[in-house]
Amino acid sequence: PRQAARTLWYDRPRYVYLEFCVEDSRDVEVVIEDQRLVFRCKNADGVEFYNEINLYARVNSKDSQQKRSDRSITCFVRKWKEKEAWPRITRENIKPAWLSVDFDNWRDWEGDEEVERAMVEQYAEV
């Protein structure tokens, strides 16, 4: 059985962040292409998760990263056009049931670039 992982996302000037909420993930595979992201993994119970997102706009797949923790897998996807707000993460104007905005991390961009740079550097160090 395969199901979609609950996914949270938020927008920043340079990156779009996606968090796939799967505890104790294994066999994690994230493929970031210019206009698409594919996520798959299994959890400790062997349930397979699969998400495919046709992205709202083009991204720089070479400068995108991911970080796995015990509770989730976070992807920070570099936008091709920086400082251009994404009204949604999907190309199509539909919202899958498994996809939500991460309101805890969503905020105005004013003066946010330094904060964002620090976040990316912190993730990259681990």
Provide CATH code, domain 7-125. 2.60.40.790
Q: Where are the domains of the chain?
A: 7-125
- pLDDT tens figures, 9-31: 999 999 999 999 999 999 999 99
**Burial status of residue 37 (CB atoms within 10 A of its CB: 0-12, 13-18, 19 or more):** buried
How many angstroms separate the CA atoms of 24 and 34, rounded? 28
Q: Comparing C-alpha atoms, which of 81, 59, 71, 72 is closest to residue 18?
A: 72
How many angstroms separate the CA atoms of 42 and 29, rounded? 10
Instruction: Give residue 125's pLDDT.
Output: 59
**Burial status of residue 104 (CB atoms within 10 A of its CB: 0-12, 13-18, 19 or more):** exposed
pTM equals 0.86
